[in-house]
Amino acid sequence: MGRFLKTFGLYFIGNTASRLMSFLVMPFITQHVSNEDSGYFATVEALVNIVVIMLFISAWSGILRYLLDKDYDSRRMKRKVITAGYTIEIISLVIFTVGFIIVNFFAPIREAGFVYFFCVAYMLHQNVAFTVRGLGYNKLYVCSGILGSIVSFSTNLILVLVFHWGSAALILAAALSYFVPALFMEFFARTLKKVRLRDLDWSVVKTMARYCFPYSLNQGAYWITNRANTQIITIMMGLAATGVFYWANKFTSIIQLVVMVFNLAWQEMTFSMSHDADRAKKYNLMLKNFLLFVSCGLLFLVPVTRIVFPIFVRNGSQAGLAIIPLAYLGAFMDSLANFLGSVMCAEQRMKSQLTSTVVGAIITVVMMFGTIPIIGFQAAPLATILCFLAVVIMRTINLRDVVKLNYQMGYLVHYGLMFALASLVFFKGSILMNVIFAVVVAVYCIIVLRGIIKDFVKMILKKVRS
pLDDT per position as a tens digit, 399-410: 888 888 888 899
60 closest CA partner among 250, 215, 228: 215
Q: How many CA atoms lie within 13 A of 409 on its CB side?
A: 2
Q: What is the mean pLDDT of the chain?
A: 86
Confidence check: pLDDT of 179 > 90: yes
Q: What is the mean pLDDT of residues 228-254?
A: 86
Q: What is the mean pLDDT of residues 332-336?
A: 88
pLDDT, one tens digit per residue, over 51-88 is 999 999 899 989 988 998 877 778 889 999 999 999 99
Give the span between the Cα atoms of 133 and 11, in whole angstroms: 11
Q: What is the mean pLDDT of residues 433-455?
A: 90
pLDDT, one tens digit per residue, over 114-150 is 999 999 999 999 999 999 988 989 889 888 888 988 9
Question: Cβ of 353: how many Cβ atoms within 10 Å?
Answer: 28
pLDDT, one tens digit per residue, over 282-327 is 788 888 888 888 899 889 999 999 998 888 876 655 677 888 999 9
336 closest CA partner among 280, 421, 259, 239: 259
Confidence check: pLDDT of 7 > 70: no
8 Å CB contact between 171 and 41:
yes
Give the span between the Cα atoms of 129 and 138, in whole angstroms: 9
Give the span between the Cα atoms of 318 and 244, in whole angstroms: 8
Per-residue pLDDT, 101: 97
Per-residue pLDDT, 5: 54
Rg (CA), the chain: 22
42 closest CA partner among 29, 24, 55: 29
Q: What is the mean pLDDT of residues 337-365?
A: 85
